[in-house]
Every structure is written in C-alpha cells, then in structure tokens.
Structure 1
Amino acid sequence: MQRPWLSSYPPGIPAEVDVGKFGSFNALLAWIVERYGAQPAFSNQGATLSWNALAQLAARFGAHLQQAGLGRGERVALMLPNLLQYPVALFGAFHAGCTVVNVNPQYTPRELEYQLNDAGARAIVVLENFARTLEQVLARTQVRHVVVTAVGDLLPFPKAQIVDLVVRHVRHMVPPWHIPDALAWRDALARGKQAGLDQVPLAPADIAFLQYTGGTTGVPKGAILTHANVLANVEQTAAWVRGFLEEGKETAIIPLPLYHVFALTATLTFCRLGAHVVLVTDPRDIGGLIGQMRRTPFSVIIGVNTLFKALLEAPSIGQLHPAGMKLAVAGGMAVQRAVAERWQQVFGAPLIEGYGLTETSPIVCANPLDLPRFSGAVGLPLPSTDVAILDDDGRAVAPGQTGEICVRGPQVMQGYWNMPEESARVFTADGWLRTGDLGLIDEHGYVRLVDRKKDMIVVSGFKVYPNEVEQVVAMHPGVSEVAAIRAPDERAGEVVKIVVVRRDPALTAAALLDHCRQSLGAYKVPKYVVFRDTPLPKSNIGKILRRVVADEEAQGATARAAAG
C-alpha cells in the first residue's frame, strides 16, 4: 500500500526497523546490562538501582517464582504502583518464563476477581496497601502464591523503616489484612537467591503480557501481547526518538502508572536506550511531582492532558525551570489545544502528542520531535506500521475523508484472551485491526483523530464529535474540566450536552454558549450546560470518562423525574 506519511518523516527515520532484534525481554535486559550495567536504571523516593543491581534482583525473583512452581506461560499478576519493586517483578517474571498480568491497584474486589479469574493468574505480587482487597476475593480465584511487599522494601536503611512507619501508622494507608501463607517480598528474594535461576529460553511468540482494556465501556478484555509485539513497538519508538535522545545519557520522569500500557512501553523504550527512569509513585500529588522535577535534572517526561494541565495550574509551576528538558510526550487521551499552547508558552517546547491503544502495544503514531508548535494531529505512523481509514464495510475512504482508523503492523496484538468471537470482530478479513476510533489522514500523511466511534453524537443526521466540542469549551478561561455527551431530543434525536467544572465560579451557561457559537456550527453548539462543583470522573491515568459522566447524568435525570 502507499504510505504518504513517509515523505513527512524527519531526516534519519527509516521506513522499516528490525523488529526482531531481540527475541525476548530477557535478551533485551542482558543487552542493556552489558552496555550500561553500572549506570542508574530506576529511581524512586530517593533510592536508585543500577542495571546490574536490577538484573541481580530480577534473577532472584525469577528463581523464587520457579521454586514456587511457576512455569513457562503461567500468569503472574502485578498489583503495584510505581515502585522499584515493579521492574524487579516484571523482569523476574520474564526470567521464570511467565506472562505478566498488570492489575490496577485501585480495583474494587469485583474488578480484581474478574481479572484474576479471566487471566487464570496463579501468582500475584501486591502492595500491602491493597492486600485487603485481594484477601476478599482470593479464595474464589486460581491464585495459589501471594507475595506481599511494602512501600519501603527496596529503600535503604533507615529510610525504609521510616517510610513504612509513616505509611502504616501516620497516614493509615494499610487496612488490616490476613492472607495465610502470603510471603514477604524480602523473603521471596532471599529464597530466590538461595535457589538460583534456571534460564528459560523464551521465543518471540511467547506471551509477555495479558494487558486488560475496555473495563469502562464493557467487559474487560485481555489483549494478548507477545514478546515480539511489545519489543517491536519498543524498536519502532526507539527509532523515532533516536537522534533526538542520546543513548545512555537521558533521564526520564514517569508519573503515569506502569500498569498502564502507554507508561509501560514508553518506559521499556527508555530502558532500551539505557536511560535513567525516575518512577513517581503518586502523580496526584502535583506539588510533590513538581518537587521531583525541581530536584531531578531530567530530559524527558510523559503524561496525559489532565496531568500537564494540572502542572500548569499549580501555583509552584513558576519555580520550575527545566533547562535540560528535551521532550514532553502526551498520550492516553486527546491533548487539548489550550493545554498544549499554554505548555509551549511556559516551557518553550511543544507537547509531543502520539496515538495508540492497548491492542497495538500501544503506539501507532507520533508527531515529529522537532515539531515547532501544536499541530492538532496525533502524528505520523511509526516505522513498519500501516494505517488505513476504512468505512463500515472495510473499504478505504477517499483521501482526507473521515472513517475508522485501522492498523497493521508487528505491534498489533494476537487477539483477546479467551474471546475468539470478539477477536474475530475487531479484525478485517485481510488483517486490519479496527480501532474503534474515527479519524482521517491529511495530505501530508498526518493522522488526525476525530473521536471514538461509539461516542459520536448525531444531531438531526449531522455528526458531532465530542473531542471538537470539548476542545472549544476548554479554550474558555473560566473552564477547568469538560465532558461532551449526547442527550436525547424529540426533534433532533440527539443533541450535545456539556458537563463542566468551572475555574471561574461566575461563569454562566449563557456566556459559555456564546463562546461556543464563535467556533462551532449551530448543530454542534451544546443545547444543555450542566455545572458541577466536583471533579469529573477519570480513569487511572486521568482520562475523563465520558461514559461514566453520561451514566451519572442519566441517573440524576431519573431521580429528578421520580421526585417530580
């Protein structure tokens, strides 16, 4: 197929990359250690592991899993925030030949039980803060081996003891729990050291991750991502940033949780480049994050629109002067123009937006790193990636027209775990992955995301995309947050409704609608405006959940009618 985006590639970026350079993450880690062994690998809360130390601890943890009876292909769940224990457990599970199942620590017991059972997880590593949730469901799962860790387990003495004391007894962040036969993290490492690791030869087709997606819009689905899939995406992304970032010389701040696929693959890419990765445990503590950014000479930071927006609104942001920052990467949700332009005004560099999804490991497109200003596009397809815009019948639409974004490439998943019908539904007969996102490819090959197909609002037969409405509303200085959703209407079928959190308490619906009329066609202008005093519901990475907002609004309408 034609690839119009290649003519827009920055100099030095190849059309194809060697996606088979590493056969497994074990091979990648060995390669990194050989080159950068003594250099810092991961830091968290002031403690640092070198690549040599990380490899040693990962081998011990892998040996422990083998000793506990875990074998090739068996699923190990990681229920951890961003701590040093995460990369140790991750690479340790790969050493044992296991498949990693990332679990959101904020899951309810119902959500946790479903995911553990669907994945068939046999072991889990859990932070003690969340052990009580696990305790409530453990007997109804296949999990037979539990390792419990504390926040301070990989911090040096006496900081470890002080941190755990504060977490447990000052902040009361560890609810009482009791799991018989649960093993402490440090004991697991000690047993692994004594047992020794038996190397497991992994193949590219072995499953690296069961990465769950779709929990906010239906039954969660486990995307099957092999070592080949994720390593391909690492190589594709590394090729995109190489020349802009120097191998072995960068420091990346990671405030997004590693159990989210965007943060996961971005971090693995930084590992591939021999970078020093600084893990932020609680990104909701914006003051603490800014403090970390002030203390750490960093060159790269990743985030989502809401995180960058929160940083810009923080009173202490004026004290931040990251002279060495080369790159700020935004993913996971659409970047709003108001946020991107403000970021460039403050820091003199644009937010580099990309696009992807769990099913593609996840990165599909990225903007050039030397982008002079916010483009509104989600970028160019990465090397070795094909993107097509197809209609509902699987036919290519005319250039510049809107359709469903479809992807082919080595990073595309193998299917959904235990869901053959759902897997068949998302692939076309000739192998294109249907993303469920609406978009177009412009004359320069840039992919422009219009919206989620399922979120589109049809007003009297005219299509309205919530992203566009939200972008316009967010440009009003009195708006802090906004979600655009559909509302039923007798005449138009559907109309636009916006739910807004105000920055300016004096902002009125009339003023906001006047603002919208200046930039939106009449049928796109919201018919209803609802103001809320509390933040809008968000995902674990800060993405506003339109579906939840819509459900809450529907429930409120039902309650008002009943009270009537």
Structure 2
Amino acid sequence: MEVVRPWLDNYPEEIPHHIEYDNIPIQTYLKNTAQEFPQKIAIHFQGKELTFSEVYEESLKLGNYLVQLGLTKGDRVAIMLPNCPQGVIAYYGVLFAGGIVVQTNPLYTERELEYHLQDSGSKLIITLDILFPRVSKVKALTMLEHIIVTEIKDYLPFPKNLIYPFIQKKQYGIVVKIEHEGANHLLREIINTSVAREIEVEIDPAEDLALLQYTGGTTGFPKGVMLTHRNLVANTLMCSKWMYKCKKGEEVVLAILPFFHVYGMTTVMNLSIMMAAKMILLPKFDAGDTLKTIHKLKPTLFPGAPTMYIGLLNHPDLKKYNLSSIDSCISGSAALPIEVQEQFEKITGGKLVEGYGLSEASPVTHANLLWGHRVNGSIGMPWPDTDAVVLSLETGEPVEIGEIGEIAIKGPQIMKGYWNKPEETEATLRDGWLLTGDLGYMDENGYFYVVDRKKDMIIAGGFNIYPREVEEVLFEHEKVQEAVVAGIPDPYRGETVKAYVVLKEGQQCTEEELDKHCRKHLASYKVPRVYEFKTELPKTIVGKVLRRVLVEEEKEKLSKIN
C-alpha cells in the first residue's frame, strides 16, 4: 500500500524521521539506569522513596524467586496491583525471570478475574492482601499454582506503615492474615531472603512476548494483546524522542495513570525507567490529593486522561494550589475537549496536547507537538516510523485527503496478534496494518482527526452522525462538565441522538437551554433529541466513558416497556 507522509515535513528538526531501536528486552533499561544513576530516586510513594539501584535489586530478587518456583521462559504471571512500588518491582521481576506479564485490573470481579486468568493461562499471580480472598475463590478454576501477596504497608514509611492496617480495616472491613507457606508467598519475605543475582534468559526482542495486555472489554470479551519486547522498546523510545526537551535524570513524573493499563505502563513507567525520571506514585485519582501532590512535589510531566484534567479544573480549591511545575502533558484514552486543554494550559503554564493510541499499538501512534504548531481537535501526527492511512469503508483502499474512512496503522509498536485468537487477529491485522475501528481523516499537513468509533457512529434518518462532534459542542456550554452522546433505538429514525450530561457543581440547566445551544452550532439532524442529566458517567479505570453501558441501559428500559 502506497503511503503519503506529509506529516514528516512538519516535524521539528529535533524529532527524527527514523529511530535506531535498541535490540534489547524492555527490562534492560532498568539495569542500565540503575548502573548510570544508582542513587537517584526512582519512586516516591506516600513519603517512601526507593533509588533505581534498590528497584533493580528488588526486581532481581523477585525474579530469582520466581525461577526457584519453577517459572520458565514464556510462562504467564498476572500482576493485580494498583500503582505502588510493588507493581514496578513485580513487572520487572517477572520480565527478568523470562516470564510474560499479564496486567490485571484490581477492580475485576471474580467472574472477570476467572476469565482473565483462564484465558491467559497464568501460573502465578502477584496481588494485594485485600484482594487475596477474591483470588483464592477462583484459583481452583484456573491454572494458578502460586499466589504472591503484598501489603500496601510494606512500602510505607514510618509511622504510616503502623497506622495503615487500622485505616485498611476501617475502609475495607477486613484484615487478611497470610502465612508464607505452600502455594502462598509473601513478597516482603521474598525480598528479605532472596538474592539479587542476574538471571540468564535468552530473549529475542522481536519475537518473544513481554506482555499480554487485555483490551478494555468495551465490546464483548477482552482479548489478550500480544506485545513483544521490541514493541514496548519501540514505543517507549518513540515517546522519548517526541518529548525531546525532557532531560534524562531530571524529570519528575506524576504517575496516576494505572500501570495495568498499557498507556500508563509505557508513557509513565517504562519511559520513567528509561529516562531516569522520578515517579510519584498515586494508587488512584482523587482531584484533591492530586492538587496537593502537584503543589508539594512539583512534577514536571503529567500524562493523563481528560477526566483527570476536568476533575482538577472543577475542584473548588483549585486556586489554592500552585501547578506551575507542570511542563508537559499528553492526554490519551479519550477525546480531549479543546476548552479543557486551554483552561489547563492557562492554569499551569505548561503544554497539554492530545495523543492517540490503542492497546494493540503499545499503545501510542499519534500525538500533537508539545513544542511547536498544533491543531486543536486533531489527534496530531504519526510518531516516528509510524505509518497511518485512511481506508474506504466500501473498498478498503486509501481515500483522498479530507475524506472520512477507517484509520489503519503500521509500525514497530504494532502487536503480534491476539492471544489464542487467530480469526480476530486476521480480521484486525492486514499485511502488517492494524485496522483500528476508528473513523477519521487526514488533512493536507498530515494531521489526523478521529470523528468516532466505527461501531459508535449513529445513523439517524439515513444521516451519519459522529458522537464526538456533538460532544465537543456540548462541552463548550459553560455549565457542562462532562457529556457523552449515543445512538438509541428510535421507531421512526432507526436511531436517534441522546446526550448524557454531567453539570458543573452548583449549576442548573434545562434541556431547552442545551437544545438552543446545540442548534446554534450543529445541523438539525445532529442535535440531540433526548437529554439525561446524570451525577456521573460510567467509565473505565483510565477515564474512558463506557458508552455501551449507557446504550445497554436504554435497551433494557425499552424491553421493560415492550
């Protein structure tokens, strides 16, 4: 397929068109950084700090223990942890041992966890004490042989480590006591008794898997995305080249994006390890805690999701905090409203730009320039060594500039395929091109625009309506904090447009007011016919709105009526 690359003409001279990729496993970056910056702080967690040397040694200790348990190259190990030092140590420890990491959401129910462990064939899981009962209940239904357990207090400073168990009991209502014996293992015992010896495992970076990253399951059952060491090395290096003003050994990264999501894993954890940046770990996003952390610890980089920036901007105490340390933010996982971008930049003085990616691409493929010309409403340009085309939905051939079609991507960060799903792999990968399922177009300068998911497009009365366009208009209303648009069944139009709206705190608004606003900016057939005001929208852990949940609720309401 012939590819036209107008975006290369718009790269600043600091960003290379091509990168020479290190032919190494992704975990080698931790070894290299620990040797170059042994005493530099790698992790800050609730006041506790670990150096790169300590993170490397503890990862090796875990890796050696896993080998003693019988872990061999290619065995899958599930990591079910929030952002905490143990999560970083577990990730690199598994890789040093030659295992394949299976990132697992700590919020999974027993049913979701069972599917995840069964499908991946994980032999071992590393998890929190409060999640141990959930894991124990599904163990017999999976291939799990061992459970390694850690407690948040294991990596808290004094006296927080003494106080935390009481907080945990109050918050979760349980105290879990686990002995280091049999199939159950305690991470603190492993770190105290194991040796930090280098492990010899032959890794072919281009072929061997580092990660099974399960898709969010926003459509059907989650699929295991097979990402090689080369995929992860390539995307992390691309990220470092795109953020060319960032200085090795000097940056401080706010690590709120969960590491069990590929976006947080690459743009926060792997990038920080490669660049010797200090990570400030926060286990979950809380707007108040985040504002205090930025004010006190002064991070320079803040990769995030739109809902995080929205949450900070709408916090009642925002003006009490100094956010000026923030220099660079790449927003992903959902569309970034222009108004949010402009407000956040005004408050911080830094740059916030929209990027684009998906699990199948490790995950980033496009971004706007942090320092240079950017186009509002665009996902930006393809990263170095990344090709992108827009394909006709009818013919599958490239369309003309400005025409809408399905975005397809090719590059060294593209997955090997879906785990044990050859048919789905064949349907998604065509001659090395990843079919994203996203509809969009490219302008004459090589900037790409996503108009919507192929399956989210609303067809009402024969017209194609892209929810994102309607959502952008709703976001412009001064009283609207969040909005999502979906197609709901309609006996006359086939589908009709419904808007779900969360208002800013203390605001009141009517359907008539929003309708009037939308009619000023949209063709009449795109204007929502139905509005529903909500206090919150259903979201994934990284803030992506689950549109399908809202659609399913509508279908359920209709079935009860009928």
CA distance in 1, matches of 2:461, 2:154: 59
CA distance in 2, matches of 1:327, 1:45: 23
What's the counterpart of residue 229 of structure 2?
A: 227
CA distance in 2, matches of 1:480, 1:173: 34
Which AA in structure 2 matches 1:468? E
Cα-to-partner distance string for 1:494-539 (whole Å, 9 max, x where unaligned):
221112223355311111100000111111001111223x311110
Q: Do the aligned partners of residues 372 and 394 (structure 1) sit closer, same or farther apart at CA in structure 2, a change above 3 Å counting?
A: closer
Unaligned runs of 5+ in 2: none
Q: Do the aligned partners of residues 174 and 364 (structure 1) sit closer, same or farther apart at CA in structure 2, a change above 3 Å counting?
A: farther
What's the counterpart of residue 240 of structure 2?
A: 238
CA distance in 2, matches of 1:499, 1:322: 31
Q: CA RMSD in A?
A: 1.7
Residues 64, 191 of structure 1: 8 Å contact kept: no
Alignment of 1:18-417 (within 5 A): 18-19=20-21, 21-167=22-168, 169-172=169-172, 174=174, 181-193=183-195, 196-204=197-205, 205-242=207-244, 244-267=245-268, 268-283=270-285, 285-371=286-372, 375-392=376-393, 393-417=395-419
Which AA in structure 1 matches 2:314? E
Unaligned runs of 5+ in 1: none
Residues 499, 528 of structure 2: 8 Å contact kept: yes
CA distance in 1, matches of 2:346, 2:481: 18
Cα-to-partner distance string for 1:349-369 (whole Å, 9 max, x where unaligned):
342111000000000011111
Cα-to-partner distance string for 1:126-185 (whole Å, 9 max, x where unaligned):
111222221221110101010111001123444322223322x33236465879731111
DSSP-derived class of the 1:63 partner: helix
Which AA in structure 2 matches 1:406? A
CA distance in 2, matches of 1:233, 1:406: 17
What's the counterpart of residue 420 of structure 1?
A: 422
Q: Do the aligned partners of residues 482 and 342 (structure 1) sit closer, same or farther apart at CA in structure 2, a change above 3 Å counting?
A: same
CA distance in 2, matches of 1:435, 1:174: 43
User: Aligned-pair distance for 1:39?
Assistant: 0.7
Q: Do the aligned partners of residues 76 and 4 (structure 1) sit closer, same or farther apart at CA in structure 2, a change above 3 Å counting?
A: same
Cα-to-partner distance string for 1:10-34 (whole Å, 9 max, x where unaligned):
2211100012x14102322222122
CA distance in 2, matches of 1:22, 1:160: 41
Which of 476-485 and 439-448 deviates more?
Answer: 476-485
Residues 132, 175 of structure 1: 8 Å contact kept: no
CA distance in 1, matches of 2:165, 2:103: 24
User: Aligned-pair distance for 1:107?
Assistant: 0.3
User: Aligned-pair distance for 1:271?
Assistant: 1.8
Cα-to-partner distance string for 1:246-290 (whole Å, 9 max, x where unaligned):
11111010111110111110021122111111111121x221111
Residues 483, 549 of structure 1: 8 Å contact kept: no
CA distance in 2, matches of 1:406, 1:527: 33
Residues 404, 435 of structure 1: 8 Å contact kept: yes
Residues 76, 93 of structure 1: 8 Å contact kept: yes
TM-score, normalised relative to structure 1 = 0.95
CA distance in 2, matches of 1:12, 1:198: 37
Residues 389, 409 of structure 2: 8 Å contact kept: yes
Which AA in structure 2 matches 1:450? V
DSSP-derived class of the 2:280 partner: strand
CA distance in 2, matches of 1:173, 1:8: 56
User: Aligned-pair distance for 1:48?
Assistant: 1.1
User: Aligned-pair distance for 1:460?
Assistant: 2.0
Residues 129, 175 of structure 1: 8 Å contact kept: yes
CA distance in 2, matches of 1:144, 1:24: 26
DSSP-derived class of the 1:384 partner: coil
CA distance in 1, matches of 2:113, 2:175: 17
CA distance in 2, matches of 1:531, 1:172: 31
What's the counterpart of residue 9 of structure 1?
A: 11
CA distance in 1, matches of 2:508, 2:237: 50
Residues 37, 52 of structure 1: 8 Å contact kept: yes
Q: Is the aligned partner of 1:530 residue 2:532?
A: yes
CA distance in 2, matches of 1:36, 1:173: 42
Count residues in correspondence.
554
Residues 439, 450 of structure 2: 8 Å contact kept: yes
CA distance in 2, matches of 1:216, 1:177: 35
CA distance in 2, matches of 1:372, 1:441: 16
Q: Do the aligned partners of residues 245 and 198 (structure 1) sit closer, same or farther apart at CA in structure 2, a change above 3 Å counting?
A: closer
User: Aligned-pair distance for 1:325?
Assistant: 1.9
User: Aligned-pair distance for 1:372?
Assistant: 6.5
Q: Do the aligned partners of residues 241 and 212 (structure 1) sit closer, same or farther apart at CA in structure 2, a change above 3 Å counting?
A: same
Residues 119, 222 of structure 1: 8 Å contact kept: yes
Cα-to-partner distance string for 1:48-68 (whole Å, 9 max, x where unaligned):
111111111001000110111
DSSP-derived class of the 1:518 partner: helix
Residues 366, 379 of structure 2: 8 Å contact kept: yes
Which of 251-260 and 157-166 deviates more?
Answer: 157-166
What's the counterpart of residue 460 of structure 1?
A: 461
User: Aligned-pair distance for 1:202?
Assistant: 1.9
CA distance in 2, matches of 1:509, 1:398: 39
Q: Do the aligned partners of residues 90 and 47 (structure 1) sit closer, same or farther apart at CA in structure 2, a change above 3 Å counting?
A: same
Residues 457, 495 of structure 1: 8 Å contact kept: yes
Q: Do the aligned partners of residues 226 and 73 (structure 1) sit closer, same or farther apart at CA in structure 2, a change above 3 Å counting?
A: same
TM-score, normalised relative to structure 2 = 0.95
DSSP-derived class of the 2:483 partner: strand
Residues 469, 484 of structure 1: 8 Å contact kept: yes
The percent identity for this pair of structures is 37
Which AA in structure 1 matches 2:171? R
Which of 408-417 and 198-207 deviates more?
Answer: 198-207
CA distance in 1, matches of 2:303, 2:213: 20
Q: Do the aligned partners of residues 22 and 163 (structure 1) sit closer, same or farther apart at CA in structure 2, a change above 3 Å counting?
A: farther
Cα-to-partner distance string for 1:220-239 (whole Å, 9 max, x where unaligned):
10000000111110111111
User: Aligned-pair distance for 1:191?
Assistant: 3.8
Residues 124, 145 of structure 1: 8 Å contact kept: yes
User: Aligned-pair distance for 1:294?
Assistant: 1.1
CA distance in 2, matches of 1:454, 1:175: 44
User: Aligned-pair distance for 1:348?
Assistant: 3.0
DSSP-derived class of the 1:353 partner: strand
Residues 352, 371 of structure 1: 8 Å contact kept: no
